[in-house]
Structure 1
Amino acid sequence: MNAGIVFLVLAYVMSQFYRAFLAVMAPALGADIGAGPEDLAFASGMWFLVFAAMQIPVGEALDRIGPRRTASVLFALGGGGGAAVFAMATSPVHINIAMMLIGVGCSPVLMASYYIFARSYSPAVFATLAGVTLGIGTIGNIGSALPLTFALDWFGWRGTMWVLSAASLFIAVMAAVWVRDPAQVQTSVKGTVLDLLRMPVLWPILLMMMVNYVPVAGLRGLWVGPYLDEVFSASAETIGVVTLIMSFAMVAGNFLYGPMDRLIPSRKAIVLGGNLIGVAVIGMLFVFAGHSIVLSTVLLAAVGLSGASFVVIIAHAKTFFPDHLTGRGVTLLNLFGMGGTGLVQSVSGKVYAIADSGSGPVLAYQWLFSFFGLCLLFGCVAYAFSKDGKNIR
């Protein structure tokens, strides 16, 4: 990895942090500015929805002006600026605005790396490089777990956000200096994202992508903290430890799925098998929701491990992309992935609120787990009709 890729990966570390830190921030935000679980679910959903909406202009920008300017400018304005707005928040509305800005800033960083990998490296190693990038990036999830609880104790949540704002600005400037754009594709063929949407071979893959990240993002990014607090009366330190364990499982999953793409001759089998395991684990989490914090921790880690098939889904779809639509293709997948996650994340707050009306916390979270599990099962059924892409080209 050259210096440019290193700083794009560091930006992705920050992206992973920003999408998951509300779970640990929740008690402090609730006590200080009155932001409850439903407010934070909406704010988290807005992050994903704005992130998803940005994928269309990001894809255009990657193909037209390259990853250097696309990633560095947006991450500086959105990541650095959004964290600063968060640090000054005095109401849940301000948290929503901040998370939307941060979503804009984080939207290009992973796809900028993937664009460089797709254009500059052999297709055979794309999934491995993408998996390594995801694995390293998931350090951000680790940072948003137990280490964040220490930062909150030392600096408070506002001071922590100011540090994050400064770190985001520094990474953006370094990316602007060091990232090198691949040579542009020289072709007279024109195209848009609509050309990709007209390809039926991509439809089952897009539906799988739409729900693949839903349980991981929903649980690790938001609901694990309130769940452990309300069902098991867990302390902030315990919540930090459990989220840390789940984060490590996600890192392991990212490092496992990439090499599997080179060892197992069917991408479809890798993705479908991994996500069906995820459905089964979520089913167990539903059954044993109030059993013990130890068992719940094991099952949450298993959700994180099995739900890391993102890179193989992208590698599968990429075999069908025309070269001149590579940027639009990877960002279209990201749009479906983050857009689906954002929609479900926003709705999850309503599911929790309805289920929690007098029924007790265990039943409320069983409803929430079943909601996530059914979404993932829907994607698996649709993806079962996909055409395998292992040896297309």
Structure 2
Amino acid sequence: MNSGLAVLAFAYVLSQFFRAFLAVLSPFLSTDLGATPQDLAFASGMWFIAFAALQPPIGWALDTHGPRRTAAGLMLLGAGGGSAVFALATTPLHISVAMTLIGVGCAPVLMASYYIFALDHPAARFAFLAALMVGIGTLGNIVASYPVTLAAETVGWRAAMWALCAASSVTAIAIFFLVRDPLKEPQTERGSFAAVLRIKPLWFIFPLMLVSYAEVGALRGLWIGPYLFEVFAAPPRLIGQATLAMGIAMIVGPIAYGAMDRVVATRKWIIFTGSALVLGSTGVMMAVVDTSALLIVVLMCAIGFFGSTYPAIMAHGRGFLPPHLVGRGVTMLNLCSIGGVGVAQFVTGRIHSATSGGADPAAPYTAILGFFALLLGAGLLVYLFARDKPTPAPLSNTAKAV
């Protein structure tokens, strides 16, 4: 990994952090700003919606201007500026505005990396490199857990956000100076999003991409905190430790999927099996929803591990994309993934609001888990008809030498 990819990896650590830290800060934002779970669900949803909405123009920018300027500019203005707004927030609305800006700033980071992988590296290595980048980036989930709790308790969450503003700004500047745009061969065909949508094998991949990350992202990014607090009266430190455990599972998961891609001659059935295990774990959670905090955390870790199919599905879809559609194609797939989480945050916020206030504090979370189970079941049903795209044969030693 060269210095450019290393700084993009660090930027993706920040991206993963920003999508997950609200779950840990929820007790502090509730006390200081009066933010309710519904307020935080809306703010988290705005991060994902902004992230998703930027994917089409980012796909165009990657194919037209390259990853260096695309990632650096948005990271500086969005993540740096949004972190400053967050640090100055005095109402829940300010948190939503800040999260929207931060979502804009984080939107190009992973796709810039994937664009470089797709054009500068052999096709046989794409899934492994994609999974490695996700695994490294998911370290942000670790930082957005117990360490955030400690920071909020010691220096305060506002000081922590100013530090993140500085880190995001410096990272953006480093991207501009260290990332190298890949060399592209002249293309005789013009790319467009309509051309991506005309690739019929992708039609059966898009629905699963839309729902596969929705539960993992929503649980880790938001609901794990309110769930443990409202159902089990968990203190902030226990919530931080639980998010830490789930974050570790989400680091190991992508790396495991990447390793399987190199040794198992199928992508479809690896993805299907992992997603089916997420569905099973969700069903068990619904059955034991208020039984044991430890058991719930274990099941959330299982969902985090088996639900880390993002790089595998991305590699499956990438296999059907010609070179001139790589930028638009991977961002279209990413739009489905991130957009699915954003919509799920809004919907589950409404579900929580509609089912809370009764005698059973676990009722909202049973309903939320049921919603995710229905989504994933529908996505898996469509995915059954997807065409497999086995891992490309690795380059021979002779080819590597050349």
Q: Normalising to structure 2: TM-score of the pair? A: 0.96
CA contact (8 A) 2:13 2:138 kept: yes
User: For residue 289 of structure 1, what is the amino acid of its counterpart?
Assistant: V
Distance, in Å, in 1 between the alignment partners of 2:391 and 2:249 is: 30
User: For residue 178 of structure 1, what is the amino acid of its counterpart?
Assistant: L
Q: Do structure 1's residue 153 and structure 2's residue 185 form an aligned pair? A: no
Q: What is the CA-CA distance between 1:391 and the residue it aligns to? A: 5.4
**What is the aligned partner in structure 2 of residue 16 from structure 1?**
16
**What is the aligned partner in structure 2 of residue 375 from structure 1?**
375
Deviating more after overlay: 131-140 vs 358-367: 358-367
**What is the aligned partner in structure 2 of residue 53 from structure 1?**
53
Q: Deviations over 1:38-84 (max 9, x none)?
A: 01001111110110010001001111111100001100110100000
SS at match of 2:225: helix
**What is the aligned partner in structure 2 of residue 237 from structure 1?**
237
Q: Deviations over 1:290-341 (max 9, x none)?
A: 1111111110100000010111101111111111110111100000101111
The runs of 5 or more residues in structure 2 that have no matched partner are 394-402
User: For residue 10 of structure 1, what is the amino acid of its counterpart?
Assistant: F
Deviating more after overlay: 382-391 vs 163-172: 382-391
**What is the aligned partner in structure 2 of residue 173 from structure 1?**
173
**What is the aligned partner in structure 2 of residue 302 from structure 1?**
302
Q: Label 1:391 to 1:6 Cα distance change in 2 as closer, same or farther (>3 A).
A: closer
**What is the aligned partner in structure 2 of residue 387 from structure 1?**
387
SS at match of 1:361: coil
**What is the aligned partner in structure 1 of residue 27 from structure 2?**
27
1:329-348 equivalences under 5 Å are 329-348=329-348
Q: What is the CA-CA distance between 1:121 and the residue it aligns to? A: 0.5
Q: Normalising to structure 1: TM-score of the pair? A: 0.98
Q: What is the CA-CA distance between 1:359 and the residue it aligns to? A: 4.4
Q: Deviations over 1:251-300 (max 9, x none)?
A: 01011011111111110001100000000000001101111111111101
Distance, in Å, in 2 between the alignment partners of 1:329 and 1:155 is: 43
Deviating more after overlay: 368-377 vs 130-139: 368-377
CA contact (8 A) 1:42 1:96 kept: yes
User: For residue 373 of structure 2, what is the amino acid of its counterpart?
Assistant: G
User: For residue 334 of structure 1, what is the amino acid of its counterpart?
Assistant: N
**What is the aligned partner in structure 1 of residue 184 from structure 2?**
184
**What is the aligned partner in structure 1 of residue 360 from structure 2?**
360
SS at match of 1:367: helix
Q: Do structure 1's residue 291 and structure 2's residue 291 form an aligned pair? A: yes
CA contact (8 A) 1:63 1:184 kept: no
Q: Deviations over 1:78-116 (max 9, x none)?
A: 010000011111111111110110000000000000100
**What is the aligned partner in structure 1 of residue 116 from structure 2?**
116
Q: What is the CA-CA distance between 1:142 and the residue it aligns to? A: 0.4
1:54-73 equivalences under 5 Å are 54-73=54-73
Distance, in Å, in 2 between the alignment partners of 1:39 and 1:301 is: 25
CA contact (8 A) 2:60 2:327 kept: yes
SS at match of 1:265: coil
SS at match of 2:155: helix
Distance, in Å, in 2 between the alignment partners of 1:239 and 1:319 is: 39
RMSD: 1.0
CA contact (8 A) 2:78 2:102 kept: yes
CA contact (8 A) 2:43 2:99 kept: yes
**What is the aligned partner in structure 2 of residue 78 from structure 1?**
78
Q: Deviations over 1:189-229 (max 9, x none)?
A: 11201111122210110111001101111111000000000
**What is the aligned partner in structure 1 of residue 103 from structure 2?**
103
CA contact (8 A) 2:267 2:391 kept: no
Runs of 4+ in 1 over 4 A off after TM superposition: none
